[in-house]
Amino acid sequence: MFELFRKRDINQGVEEWRSTEGAILLDVRTKEEYRTYHIEGSINIPLQTIDEAEVHIGDKNKRIYVYCQSGVRSASASRFLKKAGFSDVIDIGGISAYRGSAAKAQ
């Protein structure tokens, strides 16, 4: 219950992802948004196709850090993934608050 009131910090989440072996950084924005810019090393499964996550991720016990643009879609995707049986899902909010470098489209 207290997780609802905890402020999500994408910067801290990305650092945790980098230090967690085998973890996945999941961008749930559209393919167009992802092509424009994204956090290097992330994978893109748009919210509209999140029901295909098991095909792309496989192991439901992997730690998954989820982000989007502002935090709304990442919250929805995180809820879906947890209901689908993924056991270690962390919503880290929106890339709009990210202070690190992001890969840009070429």
Of 14, 25, 66, 68, the catalytic one is 68
User: Active site includes 4?
Assistant: no
Q: How far is CA 13 from CA 8, 41, 49, in A?
A: 8, 13, 23
* Nearest one of 83, 86, 71, 54 to 10, comparing CA atoms: 71
Q: Tokens 């989007």 appear where? A: 68
> Rounded to 5 degrees, what are φ and ψ at 69?
-85, -50
Count the Cβ atoms, other than its own, within 10 Å of residue 21.
5
Residues annotated as catalytic are 68
